[in-house]
Amino acid sequence: MITEFVIDPGERIKRLDAFLVSHERGVSRSSLQRLILAGRIQVNAADAKPSQKIKPGDRITIDKPEPGPMLVANEPVPLEILYEDEALLVVNKPAGVVVHPTSGNWKGTLLNGLLDYLQSNGTSNGRNPEKDHPGLVHRLDKETSGVMVVAKTDQAHQVLCSQFEDHKVVRRYEALVYERPKDDQGTIHLEIGRDAITGKRVSTNTTKPQSAATEFKILHQFGNMASRIELTPLTGRQHQLRVHLASLGCPILGDALYGGQKVSRIQGISIPRMMLHAKMLRFRHPVSKQWADFQSSLPTAMEVVVKDLAVQAA
Q: Counting beta carbons within 10 angstroms of the beta carbon of residue 124, is it exposed (0 to 12), middle (13 to 18) or buried (19 or more)? A: exposed
Q: Are strands 41-43 and 14-15 parallel, antiparallel or unpaired?
A: unpaired
One-letter amino acid identity for 144? T
Does residue 251 contact residue 263 with C-beta atoms inside 8 Å? yes
CA atoms within 13 A on the CB side of 10: 1
Reference 88, options 161, 5, 21, 24; nearest CA is 161
Tally: H helices and E strands in the chain: 7, 20
Active-site choice (17, 132, 141, 255): 141
Reply yes or no on whether 195 is catalytic.
Answer: no
Gap between the Cα atoms of 12 and 57, Å rounded: 11
Looking at the annotation, which residues are catalytic?
141
